[in-house]
Structure 1
Amino acid sequence: MTIQLPSDIPSTIPSGSKIYKDDCMYSFDTAENNDLGLDIDLKTYRAYSRTPSHNYTKENFLRTGNYLYLNIKKTLKPQEQRDRLLYDHNGRSSPKIQKLEVKDVSDEDYYNTTISVYDIKEDKLHPRESLSPEFNRLIDEILTANSSNRQDEIKQWEQEILPCEHSIDVQQFEIGDQLDLTKCGECELGENLWICLHCGVLGCGRQQYGSALKGNGHALAHFELSQHPVAIKLGSLSAEADSCDVYCYQCNDEVKVPNLADKLVKFGIDLNKVTKTEKSLVELNIDQNLNYDFRLEGKDGTKLVPVYGSGLTGFQNLGNSCYINSVLQALFTLPSYQNFFKSLKFPDNVNPADDLQSQLIKIYDGLLSGRYSKPGSLKGDDYQLGIKPSAFKTLIGDKHVEFSTQKQQDAFEFLLYFFDKVDSEFGLKLNQDLKFLLANKLICMNCSHGTLTEELVDNISVPVEDTVESVKEDGTKIYKPVTLEDCFRSYTEDEAIEGYECDHCHSKSVAVKACGFQTYPKHLVVNVKRIQLENWVPVKVEVPIKIPYELNLEDFPAPEFGEGETEIVIEQNKSSTFTPDQEAMSTLLGMGFPESRCVKGLYHTGNKNAEDAMNWIFGHMDDADIDAPFVEPETSKSSEPSEDSIVMLTSMGFTHQLARKALILNNGDANAAAEWLFTNPDDDGVIEETNKPAVNIEDEKNELLSRLKQGPRGSPRYKLQSAICHKGGSVHSGHYVVFIRKEVLGKEEWVLFNDEKVVICDEESLNDIKDKAYIYVFEQV
């Protein structure tokens, strides 16, 4: 009997619908890792799973009455078939033949896929041949449509590469002899070749970190000698001009060249007849993150032992998500995180893909259940499939200028941003074990009067002394080794401030600033400032730091007033109610600026973005009170926007309600509100009220601040729990991994989490922590 499509199920996908078909809405069960496959609700297009421990499909049926589901089940093909597939796909006898046209085998090709319709009322699977043509057309439409995760990935990869002032009008010069386009003009390299669009000189590119593609940097050397800024990668050339790699050495960025085909004719290159032979810079960056091995072999060359089970689940890399993976692994190792999410339930009446609480419960279950930590994956039996946090990455980075892209990001900036997000969502309970009081003392040397303030923080960034001992022939700097205690000593030592204007004696003199620990947290997050500014450009320094398996902070207590020193009491009504933009604040703190400077920079530039605040900070570095506590000037602090600002925006054609909403969302900044209006012209102007109880962060902070002041200081002794490491010359490239101290089979081991590759470390592997550790997480003894 032919099964007809029910009348209450649309025969075609409504426009704008999201198709969730990668994993279950409430777990990381997929069509690949679940024996019963994945069930997609034919009315909502949301995916659910059935396992012996939990039947999410049944729960959805009981909640909605929706009983028909598209079932997708995938089983991995035998290894022999997968090996043959690679060669057959290339159509060659060997994949190593040079100058192959770039092609890839999709992961989908490695699986046998079974498609059917599951009727939960009958608990029966219906094969496709039993369905009506209309029913099958709907199934084909769902199968061919991009999944929600895929749509998000495409959106995130759509980075806007634009022409620059140097590529808009490329000045070209006459060339002499016929160009040799087969090798570098300075060496014998025949790959990674870049042609100068100005004069046709061919030079090899720089070595791409994490790639086998060689390079000696002769194209860059040509720019330094000739000042011809624009070059194009020969191996990236294809008829699709927009996909070609063009680089401006002057701007130090990828750019577009208008009418590129016309520019290449001068060098005898017909863009319509060339074939792409090398991966683009974007593709190399993806490969670098997806395939990076980070010393998976021990000192003697043997493979490090993979481990599986609860707390040993890896994350798949989404192309650039290693910074997210490493941070989440370190945080979900903490007992406070495990206990918090263990007690939470999925909220009702929300789309789990759009709800942070749902996504974090899902991650907790994915990492701690052990269901997804089993040997066997496309990369071999030594590795696990791991879990794929696509929905979380999209949600947590939504509307963030950096974390919403597919570019590599800074792990510490993400950590700060994540802390702010979860504090706003759940209050301070989740991160309470990370918070402590940092005391700051400022004394005028003329009158011996000063202030002593306590600051509630959940992390600390310490400087690292970068003394160069020698330089290798290739330019690599060798730094003098230090200890983490040295970094804390530099952070807390007295600092003289010239030209300080004292509020007590009103003279300009020298002040001394000092800081130290008023209390000690149960878990201490420490960032080492390996990213430093050189000529206003962020660079990374790999100073060796002795692995701090144990840390004692008793030598860095809170400063106190000494004999003859008098405290100036700051009036309560002068305290600030200004709330800095958390994303911009996280970015500035990640760059190493002190918190007081960050707050002042944001306040004086309209609280809009990190770049404007950074420029303000640079312009006020010599201010005598640059490091004094921020006190907001006495102004009206009403949250209701001024009528003058509303009238200005309504004169542009916007409604009163929409103008008011724009001003409220942008803290009363009329310029920012106008920009928001032009990018959201179809907004209805309604300010949505959340169903969740509002979290009053300021009240919670004040309560915690008071409790910490009255309570015990805690122990200053710690042992290392985890270390997030960054491998690579720049924070904008390279790869993040995390070393975590775990109990494995009743024995304490150091485990390396390199995305979905999870292995036990040997002593040699741990040495990578010395000069690559970027974030430490300590456990209080």
Structure 2
Amino acid sequence: MSYGHLSTREASFPAAVSPGTVVYKDDCMYNFDTAENNSVGLDVCLSCYKAYSRSHVDYTKQHTRDSNHDLFLNIIKRLKPLQERERSVTGNGSVNDDGNERQAKIAKLEIKEFKEEELYDIFYSIYSSTENLSVPLNETPAKFQSLANSIISANSSNRQEEIKAWEQEILPCEHSIEVEQFPNDALDISKCSQCSLVENLWICLHCGALGCGRQQFGSTIPGNSHALKHFEDVGHPVAVKLGSLSATEKDNYDAYCYKCNDEVKVPNLVSNLQKYGIDLDSTVKTEKNLTEINLDQNMNWEFQLDGKNGEKLKPIFGSNFTGLTNLGNSCYLNSVVQALFHLQPYLLYFKNQKFPSYEKVPNPSKDLLSQLLKVHDGLVSGRYSKPGNSKGEDYQLGIKPMAFKSLVGEDHEEFKTNRQQDAFEFLTYLLDKIDKQFGFEVNESFKFLMTNKLLCGECFSGKASDELVDNLSVNVEDEVVSTDEEGNKVFKKVNMLDCIRNYCADEVIEGYRCEVCDKPTEAVKSCGFKSFPEVLILNAKRIKLENWVPVKIDVPIDIPYELDLNGFKVELDDTFKVDKSEPAKFTANEEILNNLLQMGFPEPRCIKALYTTGNSNLDDAMNWIFAHMEDEDIDVPLEIDSAPTTAVVVSDESVNNLTAMGFSAKLANKALVVNNNDANAAVEWLFNNPDDDGEIVETTTPVDLNQQRQRLAAKLEEDAETGQSGSYKIKAVVCHKGTSPHTGHYVVYIRQTVGDAEKWVLYNDEKVVECDDSSVEGIETNGYIYVFERI
């Protein structure tokens, strides 16, 4: 491929990426190959701006076959030698005769962000997949250089998701809008006015008093809460963190209102600071702000990486020992995903699946099956579990599941943010999401029947009902036996089997009226296992409310290496009547149904529209009807007796926005449907598929979960009669260190074969180390989610 050959193609390409277009340049659409973790780098398509790789499978060539896009921007990043990287980070300091760099004696160090060019040698070229040839970027026609530079400078898809996830609207409060200020002749901004701390200093905007901030949990930054004490003593609510002030980022500072107990903005910050001799135009940021501290804690937490005797735990690499990079408070997701993908049902299911075709799924970042397959390959293959990266030889690059995190959490108010979340809540949410898309095939091994019994205390007749569940959440007894030297509570150690015994124990119900004897009396309620799952997920409920605030209790629980639940199997005699009632059939919202009928639509069409769109919104149902007017079966009566499933419903306004750009309404509707109503992705899809006919091909059919529940419940009932074993051995424990499930840090310990022996392996984001049984004391006080495999 030559310059002349490329010059004949210039007219086919724009000079820059169109505004609003998503650029996928972080990793390959089908695996976790990046520009730095393989020898041939990453190929970003110059037509659709999606990235592909050639190191393991030639996905670049496959994309060319599928789309006829054959020119790519190839990016290769090579980590610079350690000495050169250190010079980039520390600056060109002078060197003593003994070779040790002499530290510059300065009062404060400016906080800097370092560019990729300071850590990597980066090479750019234009690659033709049809000719398998590359031309260095600086030797290509000007238009290609312009387009390539536009791709290089554009925010990547991952970066855009990070920005969206971290965006939080911080507003002024009534106290920060008009800050009443008083003179301070004794102003000293070099240290806390009440102790000797010289960092983490907050200045009161009312009087200029300087106080240290609060100690941040899990952080080494000191704090004695003297800024808070100043508010409690004199009532001045608004303070600003001095080290967060920056002339170059004037809006990115920490300000707090102690009265509102929240972060705030200060509209007149410049003049407020000038009152005490601080010129914002000349300030230099010297400390991380609150968001950066929180992010840093969770991305770099050393969660027990030393053994019991202080020895350094051995890093481990290779297939099935791959870490997940912390994306900023994503340790809860990393720990849950690691636990799932070390279970045989998950390994086998995704090993036998293939990526959907390009025709069905042109954008794998928006498809759950594609993302799960990508995660499976990343964790199992071992290609990304090799020693050595910019953090040191003990670390691996691991994989960075940004697209997976964004897709899974896009419909959830909390999981779509970059805030810390409860790992157990995320686990149940993820299992439910997978059930809704794939049915119970993936998660069937977790399902089991629990029988709830109720026995009348008067006539001793009973009734029982079965519940299909996929986890057990048990209380943890928190008996305080003493306090330690620091005043922390010391709890009595408990046994997991006792927690389960208490969960299944008899409970007296007052004021019960029996259906048989019709007398007011007491009843005894209890529960037990009717069937045993192949994989048991057990949650230890460590969260308690103290003064209406959820806190985590560090009760030590014996590590349950084995668990015998056979004694908790329910046996019913003839006195019990088993409730076998069928799930309720789908019932259309009567008010909305009448509105649709009054518009003249046939009833089967209206019911189907309500069933498909969630049964709660007139506009959504009406739009669905208009979009499916030509369906041959639109007036065939609905036969599925189940809860409604949610479909992608496109609004007229969204379609009109795209038709204003010159696209047909039919094509605009399809673009929005296949991209899950993401307007930017829809625009990108339209430009990449201008010749599409607009017909929507259904790739999956709605999953009838009620029907699947009935089928699986019947199967489990049969299995229960064959004498299933209720004996289990531990496979994984997700641990949490912190005072609340929404702060602190999550890791997971997994039992794996290392060499010839079974050992604990600790997954702390991208740090993976092997442990012996004496190095896992943290499991006792921090175990939160336990995963058992049936023996």
Task: Give me the whole-angstrom Cα distance separating, in 2, the residues matched to 1:167 and 1:443.
Answer: 61
1:27 match: 31
**Compared CA separation, residues 84 and 229, structure 1 to 2 (3 A):** same
Task: Give me the whole-angstrom Cα distance separating, in 2, the residues matched to 1:226 and 1:647.
Answer: 66
Cα distance, 1:276 vs. partner? 2.2
1:39 match: 43
2:764 match: 754
Q: Secondary structure at the match of 2:37?
A: coil
Aligned residue-pair number? 708
Cα distance, 1:19 vs. partner? 1.0
Cα distance, 1:509 vs. partner? 4.4
2:633 match: none
1:736 match: 746
1:400 match: 412
1:624 match: none
**Compared CA separation, residues 458 and 678, structure 1 to 2 (3 A):** closer
Residue 21 of structure 2 is aligned to residue 50 of structure 1: no
Cα distance, 1:490 vs. partner? 2.1
Matching residue within 683, 701, 705 for 2:654: 683
Counterpart AA for 1:30: T
Greater shift after overlay, 701-710 or 501-510?
A: 501-510
Counterpart AA for 2:491: Y
Task: Give me the whole-angstrom Cα distance separating, in 1, the residues matched to 2:597 and 2:110.
Answer: 58
Matching residue within 145, 155, 164 for 2:164: 155
Cα distance, 1:487 vs. partner? 1.4
Task: Give me the whole-angstrom Cα distance separating, in 2, the residues matched to 1:536 and 1:366.
Answer: 42
Greater shift after overlay, 435-444 or 508-517?
A: 508-517
**Compared CA separation, residues 335 and 678, structure 1 to 2 (3 A):** closer
**Compared CA separation, residues 641 and 168, structure 1 to 2 (3 A):** farther
2:506 match: 494
**Compared CA separation, residues 696 and 137, structure 1 to 2 (3 A):** same
In the TM superposition, what are the counterparts of 1:71-82 in structure 2 within 5 Å?
71-82=74-85
Matching residue within 423, 428, 441 for 1:429: 441
2:714 match: 706
Task: Give me the whole-angstrom Cα distance separating, in 2, the residues matched to 1:555 and 1:255.
Answer: 56
Task: Give me the whole-angstrom Cα distance separating, in 2, the residues matched to 1:96 and 1:568.
Answer: 82
With normalisation by structure 1, the TM-score equals 0.84
Instruction: Report Cα offsets for 1:151-195 as digits up to 9, x if no partner.
Output: 11111111222345665566x474665233222233211111233
In the TM superposition, what are the counterparts of 1:581-620 in structure 2 within 5 Å?
none
Cα distance, 1:410 vs. partner? 1.1
Task: Give me the whole-angstrom Cα distance separating, in 2, the residues matched to 1:780 and 1:165.
Answer: 59
2:553 match: 541
**Compared CA separation, residues 236 and 376, structure 1 to 2 (3 A):** same
Task: Give me the whole-angstrom Cα distance separating, in 1, the residues matched to 2:649 and 2:169.
Answer: 19
Cα distance, 1:95 vs. partner? 7.8
In the TM superposition, what are the counterparts of 1:210-359 in structure 2 within 5 Å?
210-224=218-232, 229-239=237-247, 240=249, 242-348=251-357, 349=359, 350=361, 351-359=363-371
**Compared CA separation, residues 640 and 353, structure 1 to 2 (3 A):** farther
With normalisation by structure 2, the TM-score equals 0.83
Cα distance, 1:532 vs. partner? 1.9
Cα distance, 1:697 vs. partner? 1.3
CA contact (8 A) 1:310 1:369 kept: yes
Q: Secondary structure at the match of 1:364?
A: helix
Residue 121 of structure 2 is aligned to residue 112 of structure 1: yes
Task: Give me the whole-angstrom Cα distance separating, in 1, the residues matched to 2:751 and 2:590.
Answer: 47
Task: Give me the whole-angstrom Cα distance separating, in 2, the residues matched to 1:499 and 1:693.
Answer: 47
Counterpart AA for 2:135: H
Counterpart AA for 1:29: D
Instruction: Report Cα offsets for 1:263-294 as digits up to 9, x if no partner.
Output: 44554544444332210111011111121111
1:627 match: none
1:121 match: 130
CA contact (8 A) 2:465 2:580 kept: no
Cα distance, 1:481 vs. partner? 1.1
Task: Give me the whole-angstrom Cα distance separating, in 1, the residues matched to 2:701 and 2:387.
Answer: 43
1:641 match: 592
Task: Give me the whole-angstrom Cα distance separating, in 2, the residues matched to 1:449 and 1:671.
Answer: 50
CA contact (8 A) 2:589 2:616 kept: no
1:7 match: 11
Q: Secondary structure at the match of 2:387?
A: coil
Matching residue within 154, 157, 169 for 1:145: 154
1:600 match: none
Cα distance, 1:718 vs. partner? 1.0
Cα distance, 1:261 vs. partner? 3.9
Matching residue within 443, 447, 470 for 1:458: 470
CA contact (8 A) 1:298 1:304 kept: yes
Cα distance, 1:34 vs. partner? 1.2
Task: Give me the whole-angstrom Cα distance separating, in 2, the residues matched to 1:474 and 1:118.
Answer: 63
Residue 373 of structure 2 is aligned to residue 361 of structure 1: yes
2:202 match: 194
Q: Secondary structure at the match of 2:654?
A: coil
Greater shift after overlay, 125-134 or 110-119?
A: 125-134
Instruction: Report Cα offsets for 1:534-555 as digits up to 9, x if no partner.
Output: 2332111111111111112233
Superposed CA RMSD in Å reads 3.3
Q: Secondary structure at the match of 1:161?
A: coil
1:103 match: 112
Task: Give me the whole-angstrom Cα distance separating, in 2, the residues matched to 1:95 and 1:645.
Answer: 76
1:607 match: none
**Compared CA separation, residues 256 and 475, structure 1 to 2 (3 A):** farther
Residue 62 of structure 2 is aligned to residue 59 of structure 1: yes
Structure 1 consecutive aligned stretches of length 4 or more whose deviation exceeds 6 Å: 89-92, 645-648, 660-664, 670-674, 676-681
**Compared CA separation, residues 723 and 116, structure 1 to 2 (3 A):** same
2:664 match: none
Task: Give me the whole-angstrom Cα distance separating, in 2, the residues matched to 1:448 and 1:263.
Answer: 76
Cα distance, 1:523 vs. partner? 0.9
Cα distance, 1:501 vs. partner? 5.1
Residue 141 of structure 2 is aligned to residue 132 of structure 1: yes
Residue 193 of structure 2 is aligned to residue 185 of structure 1: yes
**Compared CA separation, residues 669 and 17, structure 1 to 2 (3 A):** closer
User: Which consecutive unaligned segments of at least 5 residues does structure 2 have?
Assistant: 95-100, 600-604, 623-645, 657-668, 674-695
Task: Give me the whole-angstrom Cα distance separating, in 2, the residues matched to 1:352 and 1:108.
Answer: 30
Instruction: Report Cα offsets for 1:223-274 as digits up to 9, x if no partner.
Output: 4555655433222233555422123445544333443445445545444443
Cα distance, 1:40 vs. partner? 1.4
Cα distance, 1:680 vs. partner? 6.6
1:720 match: 730
**Compared CA separation, residues 97 and 355, structure 1 to 2 (3 A):** farther
2:665 match: none
1:668 match: 616
In the TM superposition, what are the counterparts of 1:552-591 in structure 2 within 5 Å?
552-558=564-570, 560=572, 566-567=575-576, 570=579, 572=581, 575-576=583-584
2:676 match: none
Task: Give me the whole-angstrom Cα distance separating, in 2, the residues matched to 1:304 and 1:49.
Answer: 34
Task: Give me the whole-angstrom Cα distance separating, in 2, the residues matched to 1:360 and 1:306.
Answer: 26
Residue 461 of structure 2 is aligned to residue 445 of structure 1: no
Q: Secondary structure at the match of 2:314?
A: coil
**Compared CA separation, residues 494 and 180, structure 1 to 2 (3 A):** farther
CA contact (8 A) 2:464 2:579 kept: no
CA contact (8 A) 2:61 2:130 kept: no
Task: Give me the whole-angstrom Cα distance separating, in 2, the residues matched to 1:409 and 1:488.
Answer: 26
**Compared CA separation, residues 570 and 214, structure 1 to 2 (3 A):** same
Greater shift after overlay, 756-765 or 688-697?
A: 688-697
**Compared CA separation, residues 506 and 16, structure 1 to 2 (3 A):** farther
User: Which consecutive unaligned segments of at least 5 residues does structure 1 have?
Assistant: 579-635, 649-656
CA contact (8 A) 1:246 1:255 kept: yes
**Compared CA separation, residues 576 and 291, structure 1 to 2 (3 A):** same
